[in-house]
A and B are shown apart, each in its own frame.
Chain A
């Protein structure tokens, strides 16, 4: 099965908003998803510069092709499970 790509932004503004905590996924991912995902660190994806969408804030993480804003470790893990489950069905 192809792995689900998770892109964590490590650009400046995402980083100060807490992206470093999400990077823990890379080193200690929860067991149930550990071998189903591939973590990619990326530089600024420009979402932070999208001033018209002020309701959305970093850190930004892409789970597959879904964007998670104001991402936290839990939020991303939940999103990953959700996407993986959807794919199973």
Chain B
């Protein structure tokens, strides 16, 4: 199991200039029981609220159908029938691209009317064979179905036509950036940075598309999804002293044998590891911050931070976004979490009596609760694989 691939999904969107709401919708879902990931990008007709409704309805419906393995042609007919009809154009319309991927490798891509996906293997584009299907009911629509067994380091890129048509009206790009332009950009970017994360690549593509636009204003909704198949990056987060002191040694051994990165959150926990593994630990003054205690440097450990204040701040940033201009311990820990795919939490359950002092100027969360909130968020919002062990 541990060797199966991990799929990192990165998305980035920019709404049409002047609109406050996205006309494209992206929706991804993990089905852990089936070891399967589904990701959908839909572009609604027009822009703004109306397009948003069309595309979000499409993604929700498509997700239900794909999830329950319903036959696709039939499903798409149902979807088209269900979409509200545009008053202006008298058609109901939203496009979609769907990637349905099993962690063991089987991946299917369904596309209707979006620019064709880009598949990258070994730094080169790969043309995946595809079948065309069309519905007798909606004759002008065809659905392309491609199937492929994915390998380590493969990437699939989905985009809305806002990407390929970026630059229309700009003399330099009379036909827009086009899929080829985007493909060239992707190849160049991957060549420069072969391990670029899905998130960074999606963002780079959208930014580059905006660069092409007249006055750098998005002429349409621009959306991109990148799926990156790779070996999982593992992280062990150790926080809190074990309830039973006898366990100290065991916990320390976990740290020294772990096959991935390690983070320790909590002063007492750090003391235990320092003592058990005879490691030297020093405060890292470059992480100074008025609100968050500084992190420490311990040999062989990727990050050592204070416990509860740092974790509380990490939770806030996972919800609201990372503080880009800071480099305190909480920012470092958040980055480490976001850069990992599989995170193993080991949570000590001993209560710190000093934290229960009613005279403290603020209430301190109980470690177990804040860790629970963090891993739920990492699971649901960031699609990370999480394990938790209480000791």
Q: List chain B residues, Cβ under 8 A from A10.
A: 283, 293-294, 306
Identify whether the interface residues of A are mostly helix, strand, loop, or mixed. Answer: helix
Does residue A57 face the partner (Cβ distance < 8 Å to B)? yes
Q: List chain B residues, Cβ under 8 A from A57.
A: 359
Does residue A23 face the partner (Cβ distance < 8 Å to B)? yes
* Alpha-carbon separation in the docked complex, A49 to B357 (Å): 10
Q: List chain B residues, Cβ under 8 A from A41.
A: 283, 285, 294
Are B360 and A20 closer than 8 Å at their CB atoms? no
Return the contact of B353 from the options A19, A42, A49 (Cβ within 8 A).
Answer: A49
The count of residues in chain B whose C-beta lies closer than 8 Å to any C-beta of chain A is 27
Report which A residues bind B (CB closer than 8 A). 10-13, 15-17, 19-20, 23, 26-27, 40-44, 48-49, 51, 57
* Alpha-carbon separation in the docked complex, A42 to B309 (Å): 16
Are B293 and A12 closer than 8 Å at their CB atoms? yes
Return the contact of B285 from the options A11, A26, A42, A49 (Cβ within 8 A).
Answer: A26
Does residue B348 face the partner (Cβ distance < 8 Å to A)? no
Q: List chain B residues, Cβ under 8 A from A40.
A: 283
Interface hit among B60-68, B130-138, B141-149, B266-274: B266-274
* Alpha-carbon separation in the docked complex, A42 to B285 (Å): 12
* Alpha-carbon separation in the docked complex, A11 to B270 (Å): 11
Instruction: Report the nearest B residue to A27, measured CB to CB.
Output: B288
Are B290 and A44 closer than 8 Å at their CB atoms? no
Report which B residues bind A (CB closer than 8 A). 267-268, 270-271, 283, 285, 288-291, 293-294, 296, 306-309, 352-355, 357, 359-362, 364
Q: List chain A residues, Cβ under 8 A from B362.
A: 16
Q: List chain A residues, Cβ under 8 A from B270.
A: 43
Return the contact of B306 from the options A12, A23, A26 (Cβ within 8 A).
Answer: A12
* Alpha-carbon separation in the docked complex, A47 to B270 (Å): 17
Instruction: Report the nearest A residue to B269, measured CB to CB.
Output: A43
Are B309 and A15 closer than 8 Å at their CB atoms? yes
Instruction: Report the nearest A residue to B290, measured CB to CB.
Output: A20
Q: List chain A residues, Cβ under 8 A from B268.
A: 43-44
Are A13 and B294 closer than 8 Å at their CB atoms? no
Q: List chain B residues, Cβ under 8 A from A44.
A: 267-268, 271, 354
